[in-house]
Amino acid sequence: MKFPIRLSGRRKVIALTGASTLVFAGLVTIPATMAHAAPGCDITYTTNDWSEGAGTGGFTGTVVVKNTGDAITSWSLKFAFPSGQTFTQGWSANWTASGANVTATNLSWNGGLGTGASTSIGFNGRWTGSNPKPTAFTLNNVACTVGGVTPTASPSTPTSPSASPSTPASPSASPSAPASPSASPSAPPSPSTSPTVPGVKVDNPYSGARGYVNPEWSAKAASVSGGSRVSNVSTAVWLDRIAAIAGTSGSSSNGSMGLADHLDEALRQYNAGSGPLTVQFVIYNLPGRDCAALASNGELGVDDLPRYKTEYIDPIAAIMGQSKYAPLRIVTIVEIDSLPNLVTNLNIAKCATMNSNGGYVKGIGYALNKLGAISNVYNYIDAAHHGWIGWDTNFGPSALKFKEAATAEGSTVDKVHGFIANTANYSALVEPFFTIGSSVNGTSVRQSKWVDWNQYVDEQSFAQAFRTRLVSEGFPSNIGMLIDTSRNGWGGSARPTAASTSTVVDTFINQSRIDRRIHAGNWCNQSGAGLGERPRANPATGIDAYVWVKPPGESDGSSSLIPNNEGKGFDRMCDPTYTGNGLNGNNLTGALPNAPISGAWFSAQFAELMANAYPPLS
């Protein structure tokens, strides 16, 4: 599908700059152990520099290694900085540094490199005075050409390597060696498709772009009567556990296609059409995930931040950073239902733990830093929805918490391209018959039970206002917002067609609102919901796109306990007989019956979403 363009002067093209970190993504070189292999290598070394004061600064280095000799199964790269630069951190390789001398060796999953194949690694560094490039590199102790030119000197030999900082343990999903991986997955903005040209992120990754059609979701949608009307709509792919990176053929909530499979298919779709193509992935596996709910609890415990980094984020970054995917615009939706819990739900023990141990803040900062370093990856942080953080007491503190995460673990606000509202939720895009400034017989709509003193009545007004607040807290003025409209259409016979004539504020609101939920705090498999606006770019001021991030027809959680090995629990908010709690005003949940576990296909819900679509389906 295509995201229609509406021109907006709101944002400028963003050159990849900022952040005092550097990355190496997925290098592969030649093994010292293969004495019989005819050696040969060519190096391309590029940097993205920034200044932090008079005569000092940081840089992101990207090294592209091409194997011009026989195929290898392991490698060791060595080089030396020529002008006092220092190495600070690297990824996708085992890194050690002693003074000017730097060594990178392969990880367990990226040691193979065939003849003629190339790959890249990245790192963070600092410079004083200037940042000239190293001119000599060795691969398995054999001198490499640099950009096809034979160097005049070899780098001095580094001292014996020690344990590399922040090196991933063996990731559970072993990405296959890329044909020619490129931009580093783990530093500040890095060079993009060509290793010799600095990377530039476009202003809005959805403008003028087609959307990736997930063949697994598309087949499920088409299997339901009438589903072919929307089966070619672009939806996001959810990476909700480590195994999803490689694909899970026996899972009820993930398909057999892994991350590389989806990117390969996206590349096929890109090549089969014309113009850019945007593919969306939900990054969703924090330690102690979704601390205030049970249906979407994850596989990682509250203290599993190291596993999150090395077994989840690092492999994702290594795959996304492969150069063959550089033509794609890759959007990452970063960790839904996480940071707002640290503002509103600290009375829940698990949320208090994640706040005190820093798991959410550090995990998101790490993800932003690694993924944001890839020149064609665009990070959008989940920003909840108006029915969660729309009150003054939550609105400002949430913006501050997002800033804290965006500057954690080496990340900066420049690694954030924008935010997304209403992810996997049902809040109305726009309430057409009243605004937050409306009053009924002299009584503000804010005093109604439905609005409950909130400052917003719908998602678009909330998203636009929250964007302004985020900018005031230090995020770039050109950030954009997304709104998930996959299930907030609220069409069908129950949709009001005009404002109520009642002079009683609660009656007026209940008869006028298009959001037909029993309570705005209800979030699971909502009865009466419909497909919302189809994805499109630049629909309103400050909004990059309407998107379908929650694939319609994928369950929010099971209606009753269903044992499973996917880390999915049972939350009573998904039980249609449950009379609620303080989070939904002790009301019925409004959930559909007979629902499967979170992420599993729920055909009855999909049929109802189509029936209640707004705009209606033709």
pLDDT, tens digit (0-9, with 9 covering 90-100), for 333-376: 999 999 999 999 999 999 999 999 999 999 999 999 999 999 99
Checking phi first, is residue 138 left (phi over 0); if not, alpha (psi -120 to 50) or beta? beta
Q: What digits encode the pLDDT tens for the residues 567-587?
A: 788 999 999 999 999 889 999
Active site residue 544: no
Quote the pTM value: 0.70
Mean pLDDT of the chain: 85
Lowest mean pLDDT among 70-74, 411-415, 425-429: 70-74
Contacts (Cβ under 8 Å, ≥6 apart) of 62: 23, 24, 25, 45, 46, 47, 48, 120, 121, 122, 182, 183, 184, 190, 191, 195
| Active-site entry in 414, 556, 571, 575 | 556
pLDDT at 35: 37
Contact 436, 455 (CB under 8 A): yes
pLDDT at 498: 98
| Active-site entry in 203, 240, 337, 575 | 337
Higher-pLDDT residue of 159 and 70 is 70
Rounded to whole angstroms, the Cα distance separating 311 from 305 reads 10
pLDDT at 148: 66
pLDDT band at 195 (very low <50, low <70, confident <90, very high): very low
- Tell me, what amino acid is at 520? A
Higher-pLDDT residue of 266 and 172 is 266
Active site residue 70: no
Domain ranges of the chain: 17-146, 200-611
Residue 84: CB atoms within 10 A of its CB come to: 13
H helices of 358-422, in order, are 359-372, 386-389, 392-406
The top-level CATH class assigned to 200-611 is alpha beta
Rounded to whole angstroms, the Cα distance separating 535 from 486 reads 8
Across-strand partners of 526? Answer: 591
Rounded to whole angstroms, the Cα distance separating 328 from 72 reads 29
Q: What digits encode the pLDDT tens for the residues 203-231?
A: 999 999 999 999 999 999 999 999 999 99
Domain 17-146, what fold? Immunoglobulin-like (2.60.40)
